[in-house]
Structures are given as C-alpha cells and as structure tokens.
Structure 1
C-alpha cells in the first residue's frame, strides 16, 4: 500500500557512521496510548550495575524483553528476557518495517525524572556482534541525547528525543561513537526508551 504520509527521516551530519532520526515515527495519539500501556504493563526492575569496580543502583528502571534463551549482559549485570508483550511486539514490528533488520531483544528504560540518566557508553557488548544496529524509540518526556566521536572532538551532536520518535544507530555507530542521556537541572517527567537490538 502506498504511504500517503511518509515518515520524515533526518540523517545526522556525522562521519564514520550512519545515524537516522524519525521525529514523528508514531503519531501523538498512538504514542500517548503506547506510553500508558508500557508504563503500566512492564515489570520494571531497579538493578545494581558495576562502574569502575563499584556497585551502584542504575539511575533508571529497566526491563528486558526478547526471544527465549537470549540473556543480555552489561556493566556486570546479566538480564534474562521477559516474553514479548503485545504492545512491545507491535512497536518492534513497526520498527522492522522501516529497517531491514530483525531484532531479538529490547531493553526498556524508564527515566522517572531529571535525575535519571545514562552515562557515556557504546552498545558494543560481545553478544551484539562487531557492528550492531540499534533502534531507539522514545515516549513521554523529551530528553537530550548526546553523541560524540571517540577521537574527533568536532564530531558531536545533541538530538532532542521527543515523544514518538525513532533514532536508528546503524553501521559504525557503536564502533566510532559513544552516546548518553545526561542528567539535567530542569524538572522532567517520565520518559520511556526502548532500544531494540539483535543478540547473535
């Protein structure tokens, strides 16, 4: 069927990698509905991670969904997947229609307020392979997403991840760049982020 209202795609001006941003991937009405369902249906966890040898509580809540038998590990934490919910599976299907990629897993993140964050990192865990593709869907409060090149200080950008948006981090993105959701002094309401990935 011809899409009479194609989703706008913005290619970010960064070298050595492909980043594509769809600011209106879901309409406001659908994003509102999906946000409420995910908040209420998800068995959120508040886990400890290990940073520089020290155990701390993650500054956000998380939950892993995915195919049976495919755990995911990062920062000294191993998560085992919950079965796909209808809501998460619907979002996964919509994302897979846009990108030629089948995802096995999604890490759901709940940022409760402005103090919740995610420090500089790359999604480069060994189970994701050498050059993974990550699809990041955002619902709720808009937050700043910062990207910086590992060696070229001029290659950096901030993207406002708004309600219903999709950011695709494609070839080279986890090899040459790191990204973060910083804390902020401005009051922020709840934000949900779904990062779809493929565990080999």
Structure 2
C-alpha cells in the first residue's frame, strides 16, 4: 500500500487530483459547523443479502430539481440548494471547470461510520463521470483498489479542507472506500459533487 502526498496521482486507468489545502482553515471550519447544524440528516436502510441494515453514516442529497439519483437500491429526490451549498457549488465548479447539479453529503460521526467498496458508475452519471469530493473535519483514509482485486492498491489521507477530483476512466477501473477504524476519530463531513446526466 502506498500513501500519496503529492497533488497528481499517477495510477493506471485513473485520473485523480488531490488538492490538500484547497480551503483556508477558517472557511473549512465555518462550513463544517454550519453544514452539520443545518442539514436534515437521514440514515436510510439498505437491503443486503436479504436483510435490511442502516447505512453506517448519515446522508443528505441536494441538487437541481431534475437531479434525482439512485444508488444502493435507493432513489434520492433532491433537496433544494441552500445559500451555503449554492456558494460551495459555485466554488467547486470554478475549480473543476464543469457543471455540477447535485451533491451527496455524507456525515461520519466517528470511526465506526464508514463507506464500503464501490465505484461511482451509476447510469445517471454518464460514461466518464467527474466526482469532486470536498472533505471537512477529521482526516480519514481513502482506499483504492482495482476492480476484480481484493487488496488495497493505494491509499491517501483526505484532510480538512481538501478537494479530491476523480475524472475520466477512474470509475471504470477502480473502487474506493472509507473503512471503519478503531482509532479515536472526530466527526467528518464529505461532500461529493457530481453531474446527473440522466435522472433516475
């Protein structure tokens, strides 16, 4: 396993860019506090192997009116943009140079909240989706593995105020996760902006 401190990540079949200090610390602190307090968090239940389980994190989906999004067997109807999220979206669009019409907020309350292995390759996102991931709060490890493999190929640390941009064929060939950890871990908020091309 390799940890990448640099900005451009040279992985076969992937286009990844990590901007570790994208936000000023004071702005990151303010956004984290306001979003945690203002978001109407939900914890949907998903069916796995015939049993229902609560998601191991809290979530909220915001977007343009037509930007419904389906993943993990759930269809998410967008909440309207708040003034703060509209401001953040404008900053992210300026950074990545592409329209974005939806954002998934994931709130990891502690180290036992997690995200399992997956690719952001839903039909609604089109053939080569761009995913812009803004990270606020505690630093968590972000693992990547080639599809069809079981071992972690690469890992990087997503720090407070960092922006990870995944483009091109990344979702075709790679999966990612945020694993549980037994280490003490403060809350973390992750905002993944995307463009819904064919609404669910």
What is the match of residue 191 of structure 2? 194
What is the match of residue 17 of structure 2? 20
1:39-58 matched pairs, under 5 angstroms: 39-58=36-55
State how far apart, in whole Å, the 2-side matches of 1:50 and 1:199 are.
24
Residues 74-95 of structure 1 show CA distances to partners (whole Å, capped at 9, x for unaligned) of 1111111111111111111111
Count of aligned residue pairs for this structure pair: 193
State how far apart, in whole Å, the 2-side matches of 1:54 and 1:153 are.
24
Is 1:34 aligned with 2:31?
yes
Residues 5-44 of structure 1 show CA distances to partners (whole Å, capped at 9, x for unaligned) of xxxx711121111000000010101100010110111111
Unaligned 5+ segments in structure 1 are 1-8
State how far apart, in whole Å, the 2-side matches of 1:155 and 1:61 are.
25
The answer to whether the 8 Å contact 1:47/1:58 transfers is: yes
| Local SS of the residue matching 2:70 | strand
State how far apart, in whole Å, the 2-side matches of 1:156 and 1:87 are.
36
> Which of 92, 95, 118 pairs up with 1:98?
95
> Which of 64, 80, 83 pairs up with 1:83?
80
What is the match of residue 68 of structure 1? 65
Q: 1:122 to 1:113 in 2, by over 3 A?
A: same
Unaligned 5+ segments in structure 2 are 1-5
What is the match of residue 125 of structure 1? 122
Is 1:113 aligned with 2:132?
no
State how far apart, in whole Å, the 1-side matches of 2:85 and 2:26 are.
17
State how far apart, in whole Å, the 1-side matches of 2:46 and 2:33 are.
27
Aligned-residue Cα RMSD (Å) equals 1.7
Larger relative contact order (CA 8 Å, sep ≥ 6): 2
TM-score (norm 1): 0.92
The answer to whether the 8 Å contact 2:143/2:152 transfers is: no
State how far apart, in whole Å, the 2-side matches of 1:174 and 1:52 are.
24
Q: 1:53 to 1:174 in 2, by over 3 A?
A: farther
> After TM superposition, what 4+ stretches of structure 1 lie above 6 angstroms from structure 2?
152-155
> Which of 157, 175, 196 pairs up with 2:172?
175
